[in-house]
């Protein structure tokens, strides 16, 4: 069961990283448009549509990645105080009642939208460039399908947690800055105690007695 979870998470993480490059394309396109519009007084006719499609592609295709990294917004005011088994039970029920119906609807109706767009070779009416958008709308059912697959992995994770009382570890990727700072703050007491032990060892090696008592808190 764990191998299935990690295989699905690896797919979600790989796709999320691949579409993360849309941010770079989006950044350069915005910078280019600002330069030619306000410096050269020669705005493009394609930049707006390109920015919409790049952001939309990133938003949709990163959904499964965010779910795999447990990065979606969670109202955990009471949830975090529950035992792991009860957290898993709540998650499992909510996935079945709300997540899967919504994602199946996204994939089903997204398929119809994409089929109609391909049938009419739909183009954008937001600019004179008339950029094709049927490629872009194809991502709607694909995003829904990826979320369904990742949701299945999350249900397997809930089953393991209900049996063992421990959440399975996730595949780690980049972390937010505040998460890194929290981890560093939690590690500081251990680092400080290690420094004290090193200083005492150095004093013993030098033939001097260490202080009679040490305080684990730094002097202020």
**Is the same domain home to 112 and 215?**
no
Least confident of 5-9, 180-184, 200-204: 200-204
Tell whether the model's pLDDT for residue 203 goes beyond 70: no
**Is the same domain home to 37 and 81?**
yes
| pLDDT in the model for residue 208 | 57
**Is the same domain home to 165 and 202?**
no
Predicted TM-score (pTM) of the model is 0.77
| Number of structural domains found in the chain | 2
Q: What confidence tier does 131 reach under pLDDT thresholds 50, 70, 90?
A: confident
**Is the same domain home to 169 and 181?**
no
**Is the same domain home to 53 and 102?**
yes
Q: What confidence tier does 48 reach under pLDDT thresholds 50, 70, 90?
A: confident
**Is the same domain home to 167 and 187?**
no
**Is the same domain home to 199 and 101?**
no
CA distance linking residue 56 with residue 129, whole number of Å:
18
**Is the same domain home to 131 and 92?**
yes
| pLDDT in the model for residue 93 | 95
Each residue's pLDDT tens digit, 98-128: 999 999 999 999 999 999 999 998 888 877 7
| pLDDT in the model for residue 200 | 63
**Is the same domain home to 120 and 207?**
no
- Per the prediction, the chain carries an average pLDDT of 84
How many other C-beta atoms lie within 10 A of the C-beta of residue 2?
11
**Is the same domain home to 146 and 204?**
no
Tell whether the torsion through CA atoms of 90, 1, 149 and 179 is positive or negative: positive
Residue keyed to tokens 């709540």: 90
CA distance linking residue 145 with residue 142, whole number of Å:
5
Each residue's pLDDT tens digit, 138-165: 999 999 999 999 999 999 999 999 999 9
What's the domain range around 105?
2-174
**Is the same domain home to 118 and 205?**
no
Least confident of 107-111, 113-117, 201-205, 209-213: 209-213
- Cα–Cα–Cα angle for 98, 100, 101, nearest 5°? 70
Tell whether the model's pLDDT for residue 220 goes beyond 50: no
**Is the same domain home to 112 and 26?**
yes
Q: What confidence tier does 13 reach under pLDDT thresholds 50, 70, 90?
A: very high
Each residue's pLDDT tens digit, 52-73: 888 999 989 999 999 998 888 7
Q: What confidence tier does 199 reach under pLDDT thresholds 50, 70, 90?
A: low
Helix, strand, or coil here: 161? Answer: helix
């Amino acid at each position: 069961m764990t191998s299935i979870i990690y295989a699905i998470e690896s797919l979600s993480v790989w796709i999320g990283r691949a579409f993360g490059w849309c941010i770079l394309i989006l950044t350069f396109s915005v910078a280019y448009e600002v330069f030619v519009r306000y410096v050269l007084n020669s705005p493009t006719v394609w930049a707006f549509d390109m920015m919409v499609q790049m952001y939309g592609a990133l938003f949709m295709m990163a959904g499964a990645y965010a779910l795999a990294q447990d990065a979606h917004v969670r109202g955990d005011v009471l949830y975090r105080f529950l035992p792991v088994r009860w957290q898993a039970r709540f998650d499992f029920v909510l996935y079945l009642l709300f997540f899967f119906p919504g994602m199946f609807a996204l994939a089903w109706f997204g398929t119809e939208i994409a089929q109609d767009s391909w049938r009419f070779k739909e183009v954008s009416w937001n600019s004179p460039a008339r950029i094709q958008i049927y490629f872009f709308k194809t991502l709607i059912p694909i995003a829904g399908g990826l979320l369904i697959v990742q949701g299945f992995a999350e249900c397997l994770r809930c089953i393991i947690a209900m049996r063992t009382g421990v959440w399975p570890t996730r595949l780690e990727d980049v972390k937010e800055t505040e998460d890194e700072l929290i981890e560093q703050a939690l590690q500081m007491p251990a680092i400080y105690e290690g420094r004290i032990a090193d200083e005492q060892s150095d004093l013993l090696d030098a033939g001097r007695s260490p202080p009679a008592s040490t305080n684990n808190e730094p002097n202020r």
